[in-house]
């Protein structure tokens, strides 16, 4: 099967199992990622899942077939985007529904985290990669060398970043336990 067909099938699967894929102007996150999975809290109290894809000068939301066709046709690296989108979609199946809050908390605390929080982040990333692999197998993906290179690079990046995160001070740890 052609790579473009696999990617289009992945987008179809994502559309059928999540609410929306949001395209934003390119904005590099702290880990230099162009992709992100989020569960956004809505005014009704429910968390709506979506995948953020950062592409330069293409803000807006995807909700119609025409918008998805345009999104697909504007892709400049189908292999990279297919692998990254599968990984982000893998987060959708996480049993840890508070992981987004943990990522935000760590970022807002100046990258301070407890050993347990670091463990949860690494477990989440590893599980998302494992689920991505299962999804891509289902879609008949075949470039496993590229996939495993991306997985290794992604996990290594988190391991390096987490290693640099500072432990919480005693006062911060007490405050965390109180909240």
DSSP string, 7-21: HHHHHHHHHHHSSEE
pLDDT, tens digit only, all 179 positions of the chain: 799 999 989 988 887 877 656 655 454 444 445 777 776 666 666 666 777 777 665 656 666 667 778 788 888 888 988 998 899 889 888 887 778 777 777 777 766 777 788 888 888 889 999 999 999 999 999 999 999 999 999 888 887 777 666 554 545 544 544 54
The two three-digit tokens of residue 87, written as one number: 């990984």
pLDDT given for residue 173 in this prediction: 47
pLDDT given for residue 107 in this prediction: 73
pLDDT given for residue 41 in this prediction: 63
pLDDT given for residue 147 in this prediction: 97
Q: Rounded CA gap, 161 and 33, in Å?
A: 13
The two three-digit tokens of residue 101, written as one number: 């809050």
Contact 114, 173 (CB under 8 A): yes
Closest CA to 4 of 76, 57, 90: 76
pTM: 0.79
* Residue ranges with strand state E in the chain: 20-24, 35-41, 47-54, 60-62
Contact 54, 35 (CB under 8 A): yes
- CA dist 36 to 33, 40, 50, 162, Å? 7, 12, 9, 18
pLDDT given for residue 86 in this prediction: 93
Q: Rounded CA gap, 1 and 145, in Å?
A: 17
Number of residues written out for the chain: 179
């Amino acid at each position: 099967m052609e790579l473009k067909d696999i990617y289009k099938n992945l987008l179809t699967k994502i559309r059928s199992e999540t609410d929306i894929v949001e395209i934003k102007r390119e904005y590099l996150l702290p880990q230099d990622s162009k992709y992100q999975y989020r569960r956004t809290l809505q005014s009704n109290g429910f968390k709506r899942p979506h995948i953020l894809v950062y592409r330069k000068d293409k803000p807006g939301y995807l909700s119609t077939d025409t918008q998805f066709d345009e999104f697909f046709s504007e892709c400049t690296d189908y292999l990279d985007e297919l692998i990254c989108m599968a990984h982000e979609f893998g987060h959708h199946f996480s049993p840890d529904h508070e992981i987004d809050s943990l990522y935000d908390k760590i970022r807002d605390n100046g990258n301070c985290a407890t050993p347990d929080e670091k463990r949860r982040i690494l477990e989440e990333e590893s599980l998302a990669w494992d689920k991505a692999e299962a999804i891509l197998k289902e879609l008949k993906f075949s470039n496993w060398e590229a996939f495993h290179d991306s997985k290794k690079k992604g996990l290594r990046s988190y391991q390096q970043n987490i290693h640099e995160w500072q432990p919480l001070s005693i006062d911060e740890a007490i405050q965390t336990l109180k909240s």
